[in-house]
Amino acid sequence: MNNRQTGWLFVATQFVLLATLVVLPTGTDWPLPPGLTIVGIALVIVGLVVVGLAASHLGESLTATPEPKSDASLRTGGLYRFARHPIYSGVLLVVVGLAVRSRSFAALAVGVVTVVFFNGKAAWEERRLAAIYPGYAEYAGTTPRFVPRPHR
């Protein structure tokens, strides 16, 4: 399987995981206090905003698959100062928000699988980014993958 096919396989798998999380019925596996409902909704909203901002910052470098464009430039500003994959960070915030609100161990399991999946997808993409951009290894050494850390 070539890189293009692998990239589309990642996209298809991502779609299935996210669609599954959205369509799974709400459960009753744990109580959901009103405060936690609000947190879940807030995570979904913030996640969607992060996805939109990070995608817009990529501009023409944005691709449908994790295969980077060879003629694009490495983005290290904006949200990319804080995380190497802020689009994935935003999606993962949505996943956590949906899983928490679901009150379902099945949805929680799909959420965990989705987090593991995105970690693997990011690692695959990073090998390609390092091959294209000479400064990527240095950037990756100072910038976390998904979760920003406090700057000193």
pLDDT (0 to 100) of residue 85: 97
Neighbours of 77 (CB within 10 A): 7
Between CA 116 and CA 100 the distance in angstroms is 17
pLDDT (0 to 100) of residue 151: 67
pLDDT (0 to 100) of residue 1: 87
CATH topology of domain 33-61+75-152: Four Helix Bundle (Hemerythrin (Met), subunit A) (1.20.120)
pLDDT (0 to 100) of residue 152: 57
pLDDT (0 to 100) of residue 24: 93
Q: Which of 47, 124, 49 is nearest to 89 (CA)?
A: 47
Q: Which residues of the chain have pLDDT under 70?
A: 151-152
Q: Where are the domains of the chain?
A: 33-61+75-152
